[in-house]
């Protein structure tokens, strides 16, 4: 017999991680700037192991391209003490002016930022790892 409210931690399969990334549109970008970790919410699209988002001039544009970053999405049900998290780790590139076929395809993705501004700069995260965990009720 289990106690009410008990939970267990499970790994999420790579296939389900990719499905969750494809179904969601808001995540958090984690980067180190000046020795300090910073986290930015961004609207994104996931396509074939690439997270793509748009940004304006500023901190993200100047400190993210050509760096290693983490990107995270999650969901939870606080009342049940359950939830999930998917983390992408990889390298970032600005693809705004890139002329390769893949970058041109990525810039056609429907990335719709919530925040105001042109968001004319396109950034991609090429995933090295995609992992996830879920807390489920026993």
What are the tens digits of pLDDT across the range 56-112? Answer: 999 999 999 999 999 999 999 887 788 999 999 999 999 999 999 999 999 999 999
pLDDT-derived band at 4 (thresholds 50, 70, 90) equals low
Q: Is 23 exposed, middle or buried (0-12, 13-18, 19+ CB in 10 A)?
A: exposed
Report the length, in residues, of the chain. 138
The DSSP 8-state label assigned to residue 12 in this structure reads P
pTM for this model (two decimals): 0.92
CATH number assigned to the domain with residue range 12-75+85-129, chosen from the 4 options 2.30.110.10, 1.20.120.530, 3.40.710.10, 2.40.50.140: 2.30.110.10
What is the rounded distance in angstroms from the CA atom of residue 8 to the CA atom of residue 18? 22
Report whether 54 contacts 45 (CB < 8 A).
no
Q: Is the pLDDT of residue 3 over 60?
A: no
What is the rounded distance in angstroms from the CA atom of residue 127 to the CA atom of residue 29? 13
Q: Which of 92, 108, 135, 130 is nearest to 5 (CA)?
A: 135
Q: Which residues pair with 46 in a beta bridge?
A: 51
- Annotated domain spans of the chain: 12-75+85-129
């Amino acid at each position: 017999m289990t106690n009410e409210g008990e939970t267990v931690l499970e790994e999420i399969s790579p296939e389900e991680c990719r499905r969750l990334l494809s179904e969601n549109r808001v995540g958090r970008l984690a980067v180190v700037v000046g020795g300090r970790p910073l986290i930015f919410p961004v609207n994104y699209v996931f396509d074939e192991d690439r997270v793509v988002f748009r940004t304006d001039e500023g901190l993200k544009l100047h400190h993210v391209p050509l760096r290693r970053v983490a990107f995270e999405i999650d969901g939870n049900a606080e009342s049940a003490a359950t939830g999930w998290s998917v983390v992408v780790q990889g390298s970032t590139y600005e693809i705004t002016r890139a002329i390769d076929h893949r970058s041109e395809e990525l810039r056609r993705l429907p990335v719709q930022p919530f925040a105001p501004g042109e968001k004319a700069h396109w950034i991609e995260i090429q995933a090295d790892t995609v992992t996830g965990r879920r807390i489920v009720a026993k």
